Structures are given as C-alpha cells and as structure tokens.
Amino acid sequence: MANSDLERELRQAVAAGRWKTDEEKDAEQAVAKQQTRLAQKLLARDRQVRRRQWASLGLLTGACLVPPLWPVALVGSAMMFPRTSKRLLLCSLLLTASGALLIGSLLWLTLFTPQKLPAPSATPKSFPASGLPNQRAAGDI
C-alpha cells in the first residue's frame, strides 16, 4: 500500500471511529462502482434525450416556417414542452376570462343602468323664445 492510501484509510477510521474490515471496504467499493455505472448510464440517456430534443426542435422550427403545418407545430411544441404549454394555456384562459368579464360588466353598465336625462322642454334655455339668434324675418331680403 502506498503512503497516501494509508493516510486516507487512517482518516476514514478516525471519522468512523473504528477500523473497517476488508468485507466492509469491498462492499463500499462495490457500491461506489455501482453508483459510477449508474451515473454513466444516466448521463448517456440524458445525452440521447437531448439529441432527440434538438432534432425535434429543428423539425418544429421547419414546421413553423410552413403555414399549413402550423397545427402540427402547435401540437408538437405542446408535446415537447408540456409544463410551458400548460402555463401558457392557463395564462391565456385567465386573460380571456378577465377580458370577457370586463366587457360583460361594461355592457351591463351601459345597457341596464337607468340614465337620468334632462326633461325635454318646448324651447331650449340657450335660445330666446322669439327664435334663433341671427334669424332674419321673412321680409328682410
């Protein structure tokens, strides 16, 4: 054993409070190897998923450039980004509902509130009873 291995083993023994047996060391090494293999598998799977996502994103971008394929792009983007699509759908529904509520309340106020209009009179108050100002008599031609 190298000096550094002995020092590392001593630190581990001090931290654990006892020396570990060979079986315990072998079990720890097996667990560490298993965790390393699992991490490598997860990294490989993550790379593969990202590669597929980039390919799908390229296809969706192409579909956005062709107007007849816009429904395909919409469904594809909803499938590719489900959380973002749900958030966008929720926001658009809330905005639509609040807009409909605002328009409905304004229509209700304008159509169904009683309006107090001034009572009509025979002659407007701004004009004299003799007629409009600047009105000429029939013989003033």
Domain span at residue 48? 11-65
Residue 90 lies in a domain: no
pLDDT at residue 141 is higher than 60: no
For the chain, what is the mean pLDDT? 83
Residue 15 lies in a domain: yes
Q: What percent of the chain has pLDDT over 90?
A: 35
pLDDT value of position 139: 58
- C-alpha span between 20 and 8 (Å, rounded): 12
The distance of Cα 68 from the centroid of its chain, to the nearest Å, equals 25
Residue 112 lies in a domain: no
Among the listed residues 87, 89, 107, 109, the one whose alpha carbon sits nearest the alpha carbon of residue 99:
107
Residue 104 lies in a domain: no
Contacts of 118 (CB under 8 A, 6+ apart): none
Residue 55 lies in a domain: yes
| pLDDT 10s digits, 83-137 | 999 999 999 999 999 999 999 999 999 888 877 776 666 655 565 555 555 655 5
pLDDT value of position 59: 87
Residue 93 lies in a domain: no
Instruction: Classify each residue of 47-75 as buried b or exposed e, where b means 16 or more C-beta atoms within 10 Å of its C-beta.
Output: eeeeeeeeeeeeebeebeeeeeeeeebee
Ramachandran region of residue 14, left (φ > 0), alpha (ψ -120 to 50) or beta? alpha
pLDDT value of position 19: 75
Residue 17 lies in a domain: yes
Record the pTM. 0.46
What is the domain count for the chain? 1
Q: Which two tokens stand for residue 114?
A: 């009683």
The larger pLDDT score, comparing residue 19 to residue 93, is at: 93
Residue 141 lies in a domain: no
